[in-house]
Amino acid sequence: MAWEQLKEKFINFVTDGGIKLLECIGVFILGIIVIKIFLKISKKLLGKTKIDIVAQRFILNVVKFVFYLLLIVVIAQIIGIPITGFIAILSAAGLAISLALQGSLSNLANGVVIIITKPFKEGDYVSIDGNEGTVKEIKMLHTILLTTDNKLVSIPNKTVVENDIVNYNGRKTRKVVFNFSVAYASDVSTVKKIIYDCIINNEKVNIEPAPFVALKSLDSSSITFVANCWCKSEEYWDVYYEITETVFNELKRNKIEIPYNQLEVRMHNGNEVLPYNKTPLKVREISVENIVEKTDENNTKNLTKKSFWSWKNKKTEKVKEESKKSVETKANDSEVENENLTNEEAEIEKEVSEIAKVPKTKKELKEEKKKLKKLQKEERKKQKNNEK
């Protein structure tokens, strides 16, 4: 009884689900064969076009992805999964994957940008974000460089697009620049001829544009010559090293010195006398009259109290000297003379203090002039009396 039930279930499974399973297997195998055949045909057709190899590879990868996605949808439909539900599941999964792989998708999009814009191609020597090397492969997410010391550097495509790219093989020819230093005793025309001959006789150097040689600078220990020439981009380093070695040998052959850094040293014995002007510094004499006249011309802006106080100090010193003389000649009248001196000093201080206040109008300046003239006359009279 049990055996018969198992037999019926197996027959129902084969008739209902087994046929669908066989159909799925058949469609899967057939689909893979069709996709491979189509990709081979597409690869041959793209190979006949002028599309870049990297772009061809990208197109084939996209086509392959689309065809496999369609194959999965067909198999799901045969099994009995609703297409709408399946698409909803795929969209939800795609959203989750896109959020999780945000950086990778950015690299993917930038890879498409690199393929379309073609800033470089495989085999070019480039510098990207401080990394230099030959472009070995441009992948969907990374660009791989091969450095000169045989290292592989994988740079994300986002970094490639966002940074400066220097393509040394972007043009067919490149300019090679040289700098050669020789001693100051060297003949300029001879050195220029030697460098020019070394460059022009190299078979890898282009004749047009013509090589250039000139004296560049006068340095501390040598004179420097600059030279440049043009060659094929792929032969840049060969030309650079060959010409550098040739110029070195020719300079040695012609006995032209390539100097080391030099420093001139002078000994100082301490007995050297430095030249100088022995004339003493002249003292400027400023009178009160000149100061008042200048202030009148400049509308009292440049008048300073310092000039008046210096004048006052000179006058007081003169008065003290005269008083000493009068004391020696007239010992009996010393007390009277001292009182006169103190009175004179007080008057002078009073007058000077009034003058030190900067006048505001021309009338006041004229009055101050008159006062100063009166003071000067009185002082002259007193000096004459003292002399008598």
Could you say which of 132, 147, 167 is where a domain stops?
A: 167
Residues 96 and 26 in one domain: yes
Residues 204 and 126 in one domain: no
- Nearest by Cα to 115 from 48, 190, 62: 62
- Answer yes or no: is pLDDT of 206 > 60: yes
Residues 38 and 81 in one domain: yes
Render pLDDT for 157-189 as a digit per residue (tens, 0 to 9): 888 888 888 888 888 899 999 999 999 889 999
Burial class (CB in 10 A: 0-12, 13-18, 19+), 204: middle
The pTM score is 0.47
Q: Give residue 154's domain range.
A: 120-167
Distance CA 229, CA 213 (A): 9
Residue 48 is predicted with a pLDDT of: 78
| Counted domains in the chain | 4
Question: Span 325-338, mean pLDDT?
Answer: 53
Residue 302 is predicted with a pLDDT of: 45
The secondary structure of 23-55 as a DSSP string is HHHHHHHHHHHHHHHHHHHHHHHHHHSS--HHH
Q: pLDDT band for 288, please (50, 70, 90 cuts).
A: low
Give the CATH number, domain containing residue 59. Answer: 1.10.287
- Answer yes or no: is pLDDT of 324 > 70: no
Give the CATH number, domain containing residue 155. Answer: 2.30.30.60
Residues 159 and 222 in one domain: no
Q: Please work out, in degrees rounded to the nearest 5, the angle formed at the alpha carbon of residue 129 by the alpha carbons of 128 and 131.
A: 65
Residue 238 is predicted with a pLDDT of: 92
Query: Which stretches within the chain are classed as H helix?
Result: 2-13, 19-48, 53-79, 83-100, 102-117, 157-162, 188-200, 236-253, 288-297, 305-329, 334-356, 362-387
Distance CA 159, CA 144 (A): 12
Contacts of 359 by beta carbon, 8 Å cutoff, 6+ apart = 295, 300, 303, 365, 368
Give the CATH number, domain containing residue 237. Answer: 3.30.70.100
- Answer yes or no: is pLDDT of 95 > 70: no
Q: Report percent pLDDT > 70 for the chain.
A: 65
Render pLDDT for 112-147 as a digit per residue (tens, 0 to 9): 788 777 888 888 889 988 888 999 888 878 889 999
Render pLDDT for 32-51 as a digit per residue (tens, 0 to 9): 888 888 888 888 887 777 77
Residues 342 and 381 in one domain: yes
Please state, in angstroms and as integers, the Cα–Cα distance from residue 338 to each residue in 17, 235, 318, 327, 388, following that order: 146, 107, 14, 9, 18
